[in-house]
Amino acid sequence: MGSRRRSTLRVLGCALLITLQLAYIKMAAAENFVGAEIANIERLLDAERYADADSKALLLLEQAYQQQKIPADEFLSLGVLFLNTSRFEVSKVVFSAALERYTAKGALSKMALTLLHLATSERHLSNYDSSLAYVHRAMSIAQIERDDTLKARLNLELGTIQQQQGKIEIALEPLKQALGYFRDNNMPSEMSLSLLHIGDLYSTLNQTSLAHTYYRDALESIEKANDSRLLGIIKTRLGALLLKTSSPSQAIQSIESGLKHLDVTKDVGAIAEAKMLLGRAFVEQGDTSKGRKLLQEAMAFAQSSGQLKLMQEGRLALARAYMKEQSFELALAEARTGTIEARKHRDLRDQISFLSLQLNAFVSLGEFKKALDIQSVIQQLREALLDSENKSAIEGLQAEIEVIRQSHTLEKLEESKELALAQAEQEKLQTTLVWSISLAALLFTFLIWSRYKQRQQTIILRREVRQQTLTLQEKNEELQAAYRTLEEVSLRDPLTSLYNRHYLESQLPGEIRRSQFSSNQSTDTNKSKQDLLCLLIDIDHFKRINDDYGHIAGDKVLASFAQVLKHVFRLTDLIIRWGGEEFLVVCRQSNREELPELAERCREMVASTPFDIGLEKPINITCSIGFSLLPPDRKDDFEMAWERTFAVVDYALYAAKLSGRNGWVGVIETLNNNENKRTPIDHKFNFTGSRIATSFNNVASIKWPDNLD
């Protein structure tokens, strides 16, 4: 008997071991699969088969979503691959997936790193607002984590964004902060990159000798680190500077030497930038056809990777080349397109450059009236630019004045300290003299001295207390920022940025109490805006969208759907992603009579909005809505009121779906005396009667769920 039990146990043990091993092998196989796919994608990128690499990466992402298993670290490194090959649209999508996963896991450091990469991708695509938003989110995490290296890297990115936005003076501050940190911590590559960007700023400001010094420093710092990519970039920037000081042949030499370094690295983005510069240099030297060829090559790359800034730079150079060749009409066409693009992106400097070109072309064509018109537009733009630069400069000056004021105060303090010391010395001499005369004088001097000492002690103590208070304040602010970040993470749905049901649960009891209190307080005349309204909205046949176009397209529809809801409802209404493709809206300070109008506005807006899912044509969708007054009948406690309301709107939504979708059904209010026949909803929720509204023919045509059984 005993031996049989032992052998049964052994068999069970073996089975468990095999199951565990199989699960492990399955997991390892999935990871190996992702790893192998990423290696394939890397090979495609190396072979410059970008379109194939893009679609393979998106497919991999889709599969990961379907299996609901996103290996965040692998996707982070995949994103970096795309970022380094200037495929910014794809890198954005891949980083977003990794960020979603890291956010769910609460991995703060990884979140911050991914946010930084997202900021870089958005910057290259000239989406500066999003880029800045990502940097600020990452910065608050770096603060919580006290990660100074990350802070410095974020400052470097921040300065680069501001530089590209044309905010030259403002950009200098974060770049110098980053440089200081990298220098103190002996990080040559990062230091060199910061020096390079500061050099760029001075070059934009036409302070060429300062720019040259920074570029030289950047070169010196990188030569030790032997980083070909940076070496190449710095040499091309030096070339750009030489071009400014009108030495095209020297510029060509420097850029070509830079290109040699870059060719080894296969950094296609940096190579395109260098080709752009080389093209400009050839145009400047007079070899316009060679220059134009290089410019067009670089512009094609800028277009394919969505880099507007680079595209505009190329367009400007191309227009100048046409001017040199006296092809004024062609130059005019390029300059016009450039002006329109620059206006679209509110880039004043670019607008002025392109308009100046148009001006020259019109003068050359003898069209002086047009030239004069353009001249006055340029003048206005220059004033606007001066205005915005003045504002930045004034801010900078104010900061400088504050620093000078502080240093003056310190100097004064120092002087008074020296005076005090001299006085003490004199007193000491006198004391010695007096001491030799009488003991009483000695005692008197001792008293003065001890009082002076006491005062010193008090000053030191006060300073320490002030310091401690400051540190405490800083800690308090950091803690509050950390709380705010954590609250954001747990109360928002990452896909649509709408609040989730946890948020509703935290807000609703207060709202219900407030509504009940104000409707008890108010007279009949001002009761009109005291109701709470509840609408449950569900996208029709959403599963088909996932099945037909894929999960990523489904996600895009959900995100755009949330935007439509924000248009339909007021800022003060609570819009919640209830789950999947279901959304719940609670309207405050409303009147129950508004319910049908609101539901119809929402239904109509959704049905008439085209939803872009990345295909050639947008798709159309519809939604169904169930609604009710909140609460529909008795003024119960919060739990009862909310449970009953949700059951009613859910039932009404189900009825809307059964009655044909793309419509709404709901309860405006319940009635104490009922003259009409009770509907299935009255029976279901024990209402004496109710006022029902619907978008379908009439109340009698509604197909109620219970009628089906």
Ligand X SMILES: Nc1nc2c(ncn2[C@@H]2O[C@H](COP(=O)(O)OP(=O)(O)OP(=O)(O)O)[C@@H](O)[C@H]2O)c(=O)[nH]1
Residues at the interface with ligand X (CB under 6 A): 495, 538-543, 546, 551, 554-555, 558, 580-581, 657
**Smallest separation, CB 518 to ligand X (Å):** 36
460, 467 contact by CB (below 8 A): no
User: From CA 213, how far away is CA 194, in angstroms rounded?
Assistant: 13
For residues 555 and 573, which CB has a smaller minimum distance to ligand X in the complex? 555
Closest to ligand X by CB, 181 vs 578, is 578
Closest residue by beta carbon to ligand X: 554
In this complex, which beta carbon is closest to ligand X, that of residue 280 or of residue 657? 657
Q: Which is nearer to ligand X, 251 or 613 (CB)?
A: 613
Q: What's the closest the beta carbon of residue 582 comes to ligand X, in angstroms?
A: 8
Closest distance to ligand X from the beta carbon of 493 (Å): 9
CB 623 to ligand X: min, Å: 9
Q: How far is 275 from 257, CA to CA, in rounded Å?
A: 12
Q: How far is the CB of 500 from ligand X (least distance, A)?
A: 12
132-139 long-range contacts, CB within 8 A, separation 24+:
132/158, 132/161, 135/161, 137/485, 138/111, 138/112, 138/113
Q: How far is CA 655 from CA 585, 621, 626, 681, in A?
A: 18, 19, 8, 10
Residue 707 CB, nearest approach to ligand X (Å): 18
Closer residue to ligand X, CB minimum distance, 62 or 669: 62
Backbone dihedral angles phi then psi of residue 107, each to the nearest 5 degrees: -85, 90
| Structural tokens at position 229 | 């990519």
Q: Which helix (H) or strand (E) holds 488?
A: helix 439-491
Q: What is the DSSP string of 299-354?
A: HHHHHHTT-HHHHHHHHHHHHHHHHHTT-HHHHHHHHHHHHHHHHHTT-HHHHHHH
105 within 8 A of 113, measured Cβ to Cβ: no
- Give the C-alpha separation, 501 to 445, whole Å: 76
The nearest distance, CB 581 to ligand X, in angstroms, is: 5
Asked if 638 and 512 count as a contact pair (C-beta separation under 8 A), the reply is: yes
Q: How far is the CB of 99 from ligand X (least distance, A)?
A: 15
Query: CB-wise, 37 or 493, nearer to ligand X?
Result: 493
List beta partners, residue 576: 499, 584
| CA distances in angstroms from 320 to 222, 330, 350, listed in the order given | 34, 10, 14
Please say which residue, 265 or 546, places its beta carbon nearer to ligand X: 546
- Please state whether the peptide bond connecting residue 631 to the residue before it is cis, i.e. omega within 30 degrees of 0: yes
Q: How far is the CB of 44 from ligand X (least distance, A)?
A: 27
| Cα–Cα dist 483/462, whole Å | 31
Nearer to ligand X (CB atom), residue 106 or residue 660? 660
Minimum Å gap between C-beta 661 and ligand X is 6
Give 219's contacts (C-beta < 8 A, 6+ positions apart): 192, 231, 234, 235, 238
Residues 644/633, Cβ–Cβ less than 8 Å? yes
What span, in angstroms and rounded, lies between the C-alpha atoms of 651 and 654?
5
Cα dihedral 693, 699, 704, 709 in deg (nearest 10): 160
Q: Which is nearer to ligand X, 607 or 640 (CB)?
A: 607
Shortest Å distance, C-beta 576 to ligand X: 14
User: Is residue 675 a contact partner of residue 545, using CB atoms and an 8 Å limit?
Assistant: no
Q: Is 336 exposed, middle or buried (0-12, 13-18, 19+ CB in 10 A)?
A: middle
Can you say whether the dihedral through the CA atoms of 324, 330, 334, 335 is positive or negative? positive
Give the number of other Cβ atoms within 10 Å of residue 523's Cβ: 6
Shortest separation between residue 557's beta carbon and ligand X, angstroms: 8
DSSP-derived secondary structure for 370-393: HHHHHHHHHHHHHHHHHHHHHHHH
Nearer to ligand X (CB atom), residue 72 or residue 653? 653
Give me the phi and psi of 679, to 5 degrees please.
-90, 165
In angstroms, give the least distance from the CB of 626 to ligand X. Answer: 12
Q: Where are the beta strands (DSSP E) in 500-618?
A: 531-539, 574-579, 582-590
Does residue 645 contact residue 627 with C-beta atoms inside 8 Å? no
Question: Between 257 and 546, whose beta carbon lies closer to ligand X?
Answer: 546
Cβ proximity to ligand X: between 580 and 610 the closer is 580
Nearer to ligand X, 540 or 573 (CB): 540
- Contact status, residue 681 vs residue 692, Cβ threshold 8 Å: yes
Residues 6+ apart with CB under 8 A from 449: 427
When the beta carbons of 291 and 554 are compared against ligand X, the nearer one is 554
Shortest Cβ 539–ligand X spacing (Å): 6
CB of 656 to ligand X, least distance (A): 10
Q: Which is nearer to ligand X, 207 or 546 (CB)?
A: 546
Three-state secondary structure readout of 622-683: CEEEEEEEECCCCCCCHHHHHHHHHHHHHHHHHHHHHCCCCCEEEEEEEECCCCCCCCHHHH
Residue 19, CB half-sphere, CA atoms under 13 Å: how many? 6
Residue 174 or 554 with smaller CB distance to ligand X: 554
| Beta carbon of residue 593, minimum distance to ligand X (angstroms, whole number) | 28
